[in-house]
Structure 1
């Protein structure tokens, strides 16, 4: 496979999934430049993550649990969460619960996309390998982003429980990401991965629907329809 087709195949899944989640915003789509910024920031997180992961492996070893829950899930989700809390959580454009999902999936898919490019060029790319990465690691990052963004949205719009929801927005993606990676290290991973991905997709679609239903812009839209 030549460079351009490999690069396009590595990038396409992340862009396609981001477009899907972006267009799921029923009431007011987010500024495209801000979503693109979060995507690029997600890409930039890959390099510090790789450096820190190397240090974690040197210090604590590379056992399956450490690789899955500490080096991968714990570190990667913490970096994404930190960026979102610092740059997006109080941003004026974050004005409805679903926006948390848009921005979190943007950061997550930016990370997954550059990671995918590295794997494509450092490994031995084939159509089967790129398809595997599109359906599993890239999709997995997107679904962990939905989880994170859903609870960030709840934290912002239910300030009385903000502490709880902020904690869940970090803890749940770490747990599920860790489970995902741990399964991939098992010899019979396919039998556990298929039901896991099905469950995560179903839960994510439910969160998308609930986040949209809680939008304060929904009532405004209904009033405008009645007046019309």
Structure 2
């Protein structure tokens, strides 16, 4: 019996990146583009390229991700940024690791391949959060990267409630608390297409760290 996989792609004005991203979604997998209020024609473009488009009017990374999870119906659900910084073509190995029992949740550890792909302030914030996560859960993780995969029913069982930048961290914290096996895989991190909505500025990074620290205080 073949496995089924949905790839959730939160999207806010990513028309420039969508063709590259959707072309790399593995054949036979469904791309679920969650539009979070785009004004550049992203949802229409995504639909024309064969993606399923879901609209989430509540702004927030977590709101978009969770809307995609709820819209998914495959056995496995993957998450990937929609800005061409990460390659969804790498996800089959993530799903394979889960299918054979190596892990319950697989995360991509971002490794930069080009100058400027990961701003210093964003990298510093990520390292600080990873250290706090290790103290909170004992997981020896280095990154809270958005490229990840798990079984849909298991993710729904985590009862995730954060709808802002803390969503990826809450997923890991609750998975650890539930006794999941969490694995980390190195993935190349490329310069994004267009302007970052979160970590492209100090203010955006501070807000993301603030949201995630609130999750750690749960």
Higher strand fraction (1 or 2): 2
Structure number with larger C-alpha Rg: 1
Which of structures 1 and 2 has the larger relative contact order (alpha carbons within 8 angstroms, sep 6+)?
Answer: 1
TM-score (norm 1): 0.28
TM-score (norm 2): 0.29
Higher helix fraction (1 or 2): 1
